[in-house]
Amino acid sequence: MTQNAILLNQLLNLSQQELEHTKIRFNLNNGHVDPIEVFKTNPEEVNTNWLLWREKNNRFHVGDIVISLVRISNDHYLFTAVKTITKDLGVHNGVAYDADERLESSNFDGRVIVNFHKDFRASVTEALKVIDSLEVTEVLPDLFNDNHFPGYDNVRLSYSQLGNIIHSQLFDWNSALENQKAVYLITDKKSGKLYVGSATAERGMLLKRWRTYIKNGHGGDVALKQLVNEKGFDYVKSYFQYSILENYNARVDDAIVLARESWWKLTLGSRAEELGYNRN
């Protein structure tokens, strides 16, 4: 613990009596869905559908206070909400509770980053066990969003990350991609197969081209469309990754981009059915 550290509860101001009836839910990456990306796209999905979900065991009771923390990376978590359970809906495998937001601390929702080393498996724990170890490292001026454009050579995005960029219309990403031609790579992280594509003036530049993948998963490409038909859109959402091989400004002739696309297909072997999804 850092000397003179600020603890999360110094911001939430829960009394000792309240802490005795408080539980904390740690939302972690399960290998398929990254909760911080879900939060950035739709905070209520995390703060209601995830926080108040019950499978078999009854984690909460009427009167309990529940805190949501979402892992950002390693030992850093984002505080996203604190609510009081007002009703048990008797639901299993669904949202099982009604809850009221704690207005006294709602100003901090989605803005406070805490440091905590989680060394236990349970996703829900009693607050008294950990509350004195939740150290505040930063209070953000606005709702958390770390999707700043990293430069063309450093773009590597999951489906959920790309979807958040598209739906949120992030200015720096839009400015960087909307007038760029490119040769891009889609990687199927489960099978290892590759798809090399191009964004030209005819195909609407890179931002518009990538929007089609977010919309339907395949962008009209033959083998990707077949994959979506066979395995479903959720397969794409879970396993596809998007990156840029080469980018060009809008004045570069489309023929140059298409030639480089063919070069990358040959280099990576993505036309071979066992290696990739390119069919031309």
| Per-residue pLDDT reduced to its tens digit, 237-261 | 999 999 999 999 999 999 999 999 9
pLDDT at 2: 64
pLDDT at 34: 83
Residue 55's pLDDT band, with cuts at 50, 70 and 90, is confident
CA separation, residue 68 to residues 2, 48, 50, 134, 138 (Å) = 23, 10, 9, 12, 17
Please give the CATH superfamily to which domain 152-268 belongs.
GIY-YIG endonuclease (3.40.1440.10)
pLDDT at 41: 80
* CA–CA dist 255, 264 (Å, integer): 14
Greater confidence, 218 or 170?
A: 218
pLDDT at 1: 60
User: Could you state, in order of their start, the residue ranges of all structural domains in the chain?
Assistant: 6-139, 152-268
Greater confidence, 38 or 33?
A: 38
- Read off the pLDDT of each residue in 11-37 and give the average, rounded to a whole number: 90
Residue 5's pLDDT band, with cuts at 50, 70 and 90, is confident
* CA–CA dist 134, 124 (Å, integer): 15
pLDDT at 174: 86
| Per-residue pLDDT reduced to its tens digit, 159-202 | 988 988 888 777 788 889 998 999 999 999 999 999 999 999 88
| Per-residue pLDDT reduced to its tens digit, 81-123 | 999 999 999 999 999 999 999 988 889 999 999 999 999 999 9
pLDDT at 57: 80
Judged against a pLDDT cut of 80, whether residue 30 lies above it is answered with no
**pLDDT, mean over the chain:** 92
Judged against a pLDDT cut of 90, whether residue 143 lies above it is answered with no
